[in-house]
Amino acid sequence: MLLVDNKPVDVSALMQEYPAGSIQHKALEIMQDSEETLRYNSLDELKFELKLRSAIVRAAEELNRSGMRFAVFSKSYANPDYWTRRSDGGFLLKTGVNASDAIRDIFKNGQLYGTECATAMPIVYFKALLDVFGDEAFNQMFRTIYLMNWHYLPPELSATGRMQAAKTYLPGDRRYIANPDVDPQTPEWQGENVIDLGNGLYYGHGMGRRTVEEVIKALNLNRFPGAQREAYLMDSVGRPDFRRLFREYQRRRTPQVLYQWVS
């Protein structure tokens, strides 16, 4: 059930605002059929989440086409014009560089970048926020960025690093396919972070666009000899705090009224 301001929503009417096959349309279909009660404070808040989910899927598709390679942290690399590679394999935004330009460069010159999937996911989120908020607001929000894993996320994206149990899975969700019997010689195969693309496919850095079954098959090839447990899709999700981001969006996109006090 979908509630806005504690009232049921005419989902069928709302879906007519989005093209059939769009991420927003697909997400609304899933929400309408969900056994969970999904609550929103306003219709604008719901539409913002739909817009951001669509941007996340689009960013994942773009990163898949960017040419960015998979590389373990010890061998990671980035365009030195925008990023300083640190000793732990992470990328620090250079002083004097606009965050918007640096994030956009990853998608434009992906061949100059190589990293693990734990870094690829934040890159997807940053690009989605850039597309939704625009350059000016994005640069104000992120004056510095450190790309590596969930431990270095800014407050605006920290929720994406926390996997939570869920019953409803939507396009743009981060899922995790775990490989509990991974070969200790190849720890990079211990699991795969993926973005739900909304069409039965998932984007995982280093694997590309695949079905869950295809990712599981690849992970199963990287288990220790005699392993009994197969890789599996966890029943949890990682999501941005859409409500918090919506408030940020309202604050930064609403023109400020200037008052002139006259004595």
| Residue 261 covered by a domain | no
DSSP state of 254: S
221-233 pLDDT, tens digit per residue, is: 999 999 999 999 9
Q: Would you tell me how many other CB atoms lie within 10 Å of the CB of residue 137?
A: 18
Q: Would you tell me how many other CB atoms lie within 10 Å of the CB of residue 50?
A: 25
* For residue 71, pLDDT beyond 70: yes
| Residue 251 covered by a domain | no
1-21 pLDDT, tens digit per residue, is: 899 999 999 999 999 999 999
| Residue 122 covered by a domain | yes
Token duo for residue 187: 């720890």
| Residue 249 covered by a domain | no
| Residue 51 covered by a domain | yes
The pLDDT > 90 percentage for the chain reads 93
Q: How many domains does the chain have?
A: 1
Q: Considering only CA atoms, which of 234, 88, 85 is closest in space to residue 162?
A: 234
* For residue 235, pLDDT beyond 80: yes
| Residue 255 covered by a domain | no
Quote helix, strand, coil % in the chain, to nearest 5: 45, 20, 40
150-171 pLDDT, tens digit per residue, is: 889 999 999 999 999 999 999 9
Name the region of 96 (left: φ>0; alpha: ψ -120 to 50; beta: rest): left
CA dihedral 201, 105, 110, 154 (to 10 degrees): -60
169-219 pLDDT, tens digit per residue, is: 999 999 999 999 999 999 999 999 999 999 999 999 999 999 999 999 999
| Residue 258 covered by a domain | no
* For residue 251, pLDDT beyond 80: yes
* For residue 260, pLDDT beyond 70: no
| Residue 248 covered by a domain | no
Residue-level pLDDT at 218: 96
Give the structural domain span for 24. 2-239
d(CA 148, CA 125) in angstroms, rounded, equals: 13
